[in-house]
């Protein structure tokens, strides 16, 4: 569908294609793509200020089939940074922390503290609320691969 062919038959593969569709092909900001995958509830949308309500209603109307309806916590790496997201009713755990210019995400805070004992802040993102960490200078993909090889 939409020119994608699932070969691994995993939900991770589907999520990757959905991000590709919305970010690369439709040009949506990553925060908005996340709001399509883990949409707020209609009763919350109805309470938003008019412009925001219009936008969120549009997102659900168009990307309703992309709603990842079930338990998940995912991390997406991209050239401009990374984003972590969990499902709209927080059936899977997600914790985030920041220490200086470093951002951590994990299922449990203990995992973060294992590599950063005292982060400046740590928090539990709300259901469906994306944690977006952007690089100051977006990395070129080839360069990233090169660095990894060093």
Partner 1 sequence: MTETTFVRPEFRVKIDREACSECGRCVHQCGWEVYELNAEGRPVPDHAKCAACHRCVTYCPTDAITIEKNPLAYKESDSMSPELRKAVWRQAETGGVMLTGMGNDKPYLRIFDHLLLDACQVTNPSVDPLREPMELRTYLGRKPDAVKVEPGENGAAPRLATEFDPQLKMDTPLMFGGMSFGSVSLNVHRALAMAAQEMGTYMNTGEGGLHADLKPYSDHIVVQCASGRFGVYAEYLQAGAAVEIKIGQGAKPGIGGHLPGEKIDEEVSTTRMIPQGTDALSPAPHHDIYSIEDLRQLIYAIKEATGYKPVSVKIAAVHNVAAIASGVVRAGADIVYLDGFRGGTGAAPTVVRDHVGIPIEIAIAVVDQRLRDEGIRSRASIVAAGGIRSSADVAKAIALGADACAIGTVALVALGCHVCQKCFTGRCSWGICTQRPDLTRRLDPEWGAERLANLLNAWSHEIKELLGALGVNAVESLRGSRERLRSLGLDKETTEILRVKPAGMGH
What residues make contact with partner 1 under the rule CB under 8 A? 1-2, 9, 22, 25-29, 31-32, 39, 41-43, 51-52, 54-55, 58-65, 67, 69-71, 88-89, 91
In the bound state with partner 1, the residue whose beta carbon lies nearer, of 90 and 113, is 90
**CB closer to partner 1, 73 vs 97:** 73
Q: How far is the CB of 56 from partner 1 (least distance, A)?
A: 9
Coarse DSSP helix, strand, coil percentages of the chain, rounded to the nearest 5 percent = 40, 20, 40
When the beta carbons of 70 and 146 are compared against partner 1, the nearer one is 70
DSSP H or E segment with residue 106? strand 102-106
Closest CB to partner 1 among residues 59, 97: 59
Q: In the bound complex, what is the minimum distance in angstroms from residue 147's beta carbon to partner 1?
A: 30
Give the residue from 15, 56, 16 showing the smallest Cα distance to 36.
56
Q: What distances in angstroms separate CA 60 from CA 39, 80, 81, 141, 149, one per listed residue?
A: 7, 25, 25, 31, 41
Instruction: Write down the least CB distance from residue 64 to partner 1, Å.
Output: 4
Q: Which is nearer to partner 1, 21 or 97 (CB)?
A: 21
Residue matched to tokens 């038959």: 9
**62: CB partners within 8 A, 6+ apart:** 36
* Angle in degrees, CA 104, 75, 43, rounded to 5: 105
Cβ 1 to partner 1 shortest distance, Å: 7
The sheet that has 131-134: what strands, in order across it? 73-78, 81-86, 131-134
Minimum gap (Å) between residue 104 Cβ and partner 1: 25
């Amino acid at each position: 569908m939409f020119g994608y062919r699932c070969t691994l038959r995993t939900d991770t593969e589907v999520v990757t294609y959905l991000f590709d569709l919305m970010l690369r092909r439709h040009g949506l900001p990553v925060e908005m793509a996340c709001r399509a995958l883990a949409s707020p509830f209609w009763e919350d949308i109805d309470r938003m200020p008019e412009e925001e309500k219009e936008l969120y209603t549009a997102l659900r109307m168009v990307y309703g089939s992309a709603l990842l309806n079930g338990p998940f916590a995912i991390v997406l790496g991209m050239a401009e940074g990374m984003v972590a997201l969990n499902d709209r009713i927080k059936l899977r755990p997600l914790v985030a922390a920041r220490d200086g210019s470093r951002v951590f995400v994990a299922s449990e805070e203990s995992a973060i503290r294992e590599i950063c004992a005292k982060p400046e802040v740590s928090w539990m993102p709300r259901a469906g609320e994306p944690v977006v960490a952007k690089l100051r200078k977006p990395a070129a993909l080839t360069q990233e691969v090169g660095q990894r090889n060093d």
